[in-house]
Amino acid sequence: MIGPEFLAVAALDVLSETAAHAVDVKGRTILLCLQAGKVFAISARCSHADQELTCGAVRNGWISCPAHGARFDLATGEPLNPPATTPIMTYPVRISGGMVEVAV
Ligand code: FES
């Protein structure tokens, strides 16, 4: 069986625990978020009104949308509070040789 194709998208040491790091992967923007030493990859667009999540605050395993304040669980993409009601996309991540790799 062939697994997902992982692509190296950023060096692990450029990530911070308090802000998302945006990367372009196959024509789409993905946010890398570091929390408690673990890296999560999520969609850069909010599921509420399609605004950018890139500048959202990252804390305690969630990212908040700068537009209207919805927060999303970094691991599952599930919304944690209104006005968002549907999840955002999340992507598999692995670390290899100090690089963050994402499967899109
Ligand atoms: S666009 Fe993100 S909460 Fe409204």
Closest residue to atom 1 of ligand 1, CA basis: 49
pLDDT band of residue 2 (cuts 50, 70, 90) is: confident
Ligand 1 atom nearest the C-alpha of 50 is 1
Mean pLDDT of 69-96: 98
- At the fourth CATH level, the homologous superfamily of domain 6-103 is Rieske [2Fe-2S] iron-sulphur domain (2.102.10.10)
Residue 94, C-beta contacts closer than 8 angstroms, at least 6 positions apart? 6, 101
Ligand 1 centroid – CA 29 distance (Å): 17
- For the whole prediction, is pTM greater than 0.85? yes
Closest residue to atom 3 of ligand 1, CA basis: 68
Which strands make up the sheet holding 93-96, listed edge to edge?
6-11, 99-103, 93-96
Residue 88 corresponds to which tokens in the numbers above?
């955002």
Domain boundaries, the chain: 6-103
Query: 36-62 pLDDT, tens per residue?
Result: 999 999 999 999 999 999 999 999 999
Ligand 1 atom nearest the C-alpha of 70 is 3
φ/ψ of 9, rounded to 5, equals -120, -20
